[in-house]
C-alpha cells in the first residue's frame, strides 16, 4: 500500500508548491481534484484536454517529483434536479474520465448524486426511512428513473475510456452505505466500485472493517480515504447521530470529522490497515483532512505520522511472514 493525499487540501498553494510540500513529507501518491464540490483544484480537466502542452507540463510536475496519481476526483451531483446544475456536474465528470484516460489513471472518484422526489423538484431529496409510505415510493422512483439509467450509461462510457468509477458513499446521496454501493454496482455496471471513507461510516454507526471485507469480496474496493470521526457522547445521547448543525458548531454537534487517530485510536486504525492488507488492497491510503480543530498543515502532518508508523509495522509483518 502507498501513502497519498487528496490535494484539494492545499488549494491555496500552486500545484508546484503543493507537490513540493507533499514530497517533503515522504508521500508516494496524489489524488487530484479536477471538478465538483471542493472548488479548489490543481487541474482544470477541460483546459488540459484542450491543450497538449499544458497536459504535458502537468504530468511533468508530478513525475519529476517521483509521485504518482492515485485517482482523479470529481465530487458532484450529476443527478441534481436543477438541470443546469446537473449538466455542469456531468460535464465535470465526463472531462475527468477523458483526462484520466490521457494520463493513464485508472480511477475517477465521485458521488452517486441524489435526485429530487419528482421531475418537478428544485433540490435533492435524500430518503432515510421507509414510512410514511411516500418515502419508499420516492426512493423507488429515484433508483428506477434516475439513478440506474444515468449510471448504466456512465458505466458504458467509462469502460469505453478504460477507466473505472469509485463512488464515495456519503449521507445525502443515494449511495451512502455498503448495501446501496453494491446495489449500484449490481444494477448499473461492474466497473462501478467504492472510494472507501471510514469517517462517513463511523458516524452512521457502521463497522468499517466489516464493510471493507464485504466490498472486497464483491471486487468493489477501488480506493481509500483516510479520515476520522469523533463523537460527543452527551450530544449523541440527547440527539442521536443525525445532526444538521453546521460543522463549525463543534461544541454542540453529535460528531465532527477529525484527522486520523483523533476520533478512533491507534488500535482501530491498526485493525483497519490490517483488514486492508488481508483483503488484498494494494492501492493508496489517501489522506483527506476536514478537521475543523486543526490547521491544514497540523492535521495533515499528524495523519502522515500516524499512518506511516502503521504502514511500516504492516510491512514488517509482511517481511516476517514471507
Taking only the tens place, the pLDDT of each residue in 275-304 is: 999 999 999 999 999 999 999 999 999 999
d(CA 135, CA 125): 10
Pick 316 or 209 by higher pLDDT.
209
At 2, is the secondary structure helix, strand, or coil?
strand
Report whether 84 contacts 45 (CB < 8 A): no
On the question of pLDDT at 315 being above 60, the answer is no
What is the average pLDDT score of the chain? 94
Domain architecture of the chain: domains with CATH? 2-321 (3.20.20.150)
- In terms of pTM, does the model score above 0.85? yes
- Per residue in 160-218, pLDDT (tens digit) is 999 999 999 999 999 999 999 999 999 999 999 999 999 999 999 999 999 999 999 99
d(CA 148, CA 143): 6
d(CA 276, CA 221): 10
C-alpha cell at 136: 419508499
Bridge partners (DSSP) listed for residue 72: 32, 108
Query: Could you tell me the pLDDT band of residue 316, with boundaries at 50, 70 and 90?
Result: very low
- Per residue in 14-67, pLDDT (tens digit) is 999 999 999 999 999 999 999 888 666 789 999 999 999 999 999 999 999 999
What is the predicted pLDDT for the residue at 321?
43
Residue 25: exposed, middle, or buried by beta-carbon count in 10 A (0-12, 13-18, 19+)?
A: middle
CA distance readout (Å), 45 to 9, 72, 73, 74, 103: 18, 10, 11, 10, 11
- Per residue in 112-141, pLDDT (tens digit) is 999 999 999 999 999 999 999 999 999 999
d(CA 143, CA 262): 36
On the question of pLDDT at 313 being above 80, the answer is no
d(CA 40, CA 33): 8
Amino acid at each position: 500500500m502507498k501513502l497519498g493525499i487528496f490535494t484539494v487540501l492545499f488549494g491555496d498553494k500552486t500545484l508546484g508548491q503543493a507537490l513540493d510540500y507533499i514530497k517533503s513529507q515522504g508521500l508516494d501518491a496524489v489524488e487530484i481534484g479536477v471538478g465538483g464540490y471542493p472548488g479548489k483544484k490543481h487541474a482544470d480537466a477541460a483546459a488540459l484536454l484542450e491543450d497538449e502542452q499544458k497536459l504535458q507540463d502537468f504530468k511533468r510536475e508530478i513525475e519529476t517529483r517521483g509521485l504518482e496519481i492515485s485517482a482523479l476526483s470529481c465530487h458532484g451531483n450529476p443527478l441534481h434536479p436543477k438541470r443546469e446544475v446537473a449538466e455542469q456536474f456531468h460535464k465535470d465528470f465526463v472531462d475527468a474520465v477523458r483526462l484520466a484516460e490521457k494520463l493513464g489513471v485508472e480511477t475517477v472518484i465521485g458521488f452517486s448524486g441524489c435526485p429530487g422526489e419528482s421531475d418537478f423538484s428544485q433540490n435533492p431529496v435524500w430518503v432515510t426511512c421507509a414510512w410514511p409510505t411516500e418515502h419508499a415510493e420516492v426512493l423507488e422512483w429515484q433508483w428506477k428513473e434516475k439513478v440506474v439509467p444515468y449510471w448504466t450509461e456512465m458505466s458504458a462510457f467509462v469502460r469505453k475510456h478504460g477507466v473505472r468509477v469509485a463512488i464515495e458513499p456519503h449521507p445525502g446521496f443515494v449511495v451512502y452505505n455498503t448495501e446501496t454501493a453494491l446495489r449500484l454496482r449490481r444494477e448499473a455496471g461492474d466497473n462501478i466500485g467504492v472510494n472507501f471513507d471510514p469517517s462517513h461510516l463511523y458516524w452512521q454507526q457502521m463497522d468499517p472493517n466489516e464493510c471493507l471485507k464485504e466490498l472486497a469480496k464483491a471486487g468493489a474496493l477501488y480506493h481509500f480515504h483516510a479520515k476520522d470521526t469523533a463523537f460527543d457522547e452527551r450530544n449523541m445521547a440527547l440527539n442521536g447521530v443525525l445532526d444538521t448543525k453546521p460543522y463549525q458548531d463543534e461544541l454542540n454537534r453529535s460528531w465532527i470529522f477529525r484527522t486520523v487517530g483523533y476520533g478512533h485510536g491507534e488500535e482501530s486504525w491498526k485493525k483497519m490497515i490490517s483488514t486492508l492488507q488481508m483483503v488484498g488492497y494494494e492501492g493508496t491510503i489517501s489522506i483527506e483532512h476536514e478537521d475543523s480543530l486543526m490547521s491544514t498543515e497540523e492535521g495533515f502532518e499528524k495523519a502522515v505520522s500516524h499512518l506511516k508508523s502503521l504502514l511500516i509495522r504492516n510491512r514488517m509483518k509482511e517481511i516476517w511472514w514471507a
